[in-house]
Amino acid sequence: MKKKETKKEKPDYSTHGIMSSEGTVDLDISFLKEKPSREEKNQALAGALAQTYEAMFKEGYTSDTEFLSPRDMAAQYGSTRQYWQKLLDEGKIHYKDTSAGRITTNLWVEGYLNNKEKVDEYLRNQRRVLKLIRDDGQQSGVVKCPACGEQRFNYNDNGSYNINGLCRNTSCNFRIHTIDDEN
């Protein structure tokens, strides 16, 4: 007896994503029906994120990282849980919020352990340039680069506190892509 072949249903949405050379993604989901349900929206977003992750992994922008709590980091890398929590609170290690609490990735921990001074200097420069951008008060422009000292740091405030910028001095190339929560 031959199984009846079922036609695969086409999704009620379409996705479009653009990945920059720096590894940032702009993702757009368009629904074909006027009022999709919350479940349909979640399903579309999950599918689009899975496809985006696969593409970014294939291009080398992401890696297989595991998530660790401050307690896990202390057990794996030494120091105390409070030390790692302090780094999270200061913004020196990026984290992800979950229902179980803040966690971070091995990728950032390894970077911090191997280049503490370099990471600290980058964060100081990032704070300096964000202050210059806030003081400038413009949506886009050029300010003095905190890394090389030249007036060649181009920035753009994309709204919702999303700020990115790049120093146009070819020997410097200091860059940021961040959320400015002090605005």
Do 67 and 50 form a contact (C-beta atoms < 8 A)?
Answer: no
pLDDT digits (tens, 9 = 90+) for 124-182: 898 899 899 888 888 889 999 999 999 999 998 876 567 888 898 888 878 887 755 55
pLDDT digits (tens, 9 = 90+) for 60-115: 666 555 567 778 888 887 888 888 888 777 766 666 555 555 555 555 566 667 77
pLDDT digits (tens, 9 = 90+) for 29-63: 888 878 888 888 888 888 888 888 777 777 666 65
| Rounded Cα distance, 171 and 168, in Å | 9
C-alpha separations of 86 from 40, 67, 80, 103, 130 in Å: 39, 17, 10, 13, 22
